[in-house]
Amino acid sequence: MQVQNNMVGWFEIHVDNMERAKKFYQCVFSRAMIDLPSENKETQMCMFFSSGDMALGASGALVKSNHLKPGVGGTLVYFTCEDCANEGSRAIANGGSLFKEKMSIGEYGHIALVKDSEGNLIGLHSMK
């Protein structure tokens, strides 16, 4: 089987408070984020930093916009974790909440669902 690029090329997580959301994601995943320049004052973007091979995953950003709002029911992005229970705990400790605790999905590992600091529902996936 030939290795192909990840099916997800980019994702955006919409936020109301950029600084609060940025802190939430940096603390939960222990990863840096990069503020992106914007050509208009209506949109702020902060990209998830990736130092590895982009073929192994998708990149994306937090987006604050006058046109789109955060919330449950839109796109669900799953973040790969070593053990999704750990990131779930850190999400709660950093202003998020647990929506669905860690559960088995059989041979495909485990998932958990959390709400971020802005009310977005995100997925956590791990093989442990």
Interval 56-83: pLDDT, tens: 667 788 989 877 788 877 678 888 899 9
How far apart are the C-alpha atoms of 20 and 51, rounded to whole Å? Answer: 23
82 by Cβ neighbours in 10 Å (0-12 / 13-18 / 19+) ranks as: exposed
In a domain, 4, yes or no: no
In a domain, 90, yes or no: yes
Q: pTM value?
A: 0.74
pLDDT of residue 127: 92
**CATH number of residue 78's parent domain:** 3.10.180.10
H helix and E strand count, the chain: 2, 8
Range of the domain at 83: 10-126
In a domain, 2, yes or no: no
pLDDT digits (tens, 9 = 90+) for 80-111: 899 999 999 999 999 999 999 999 998 889 99
pLDDT digits (tens, 9 = 90+) for 36-59: 887 777 889 999 887 665 556 677
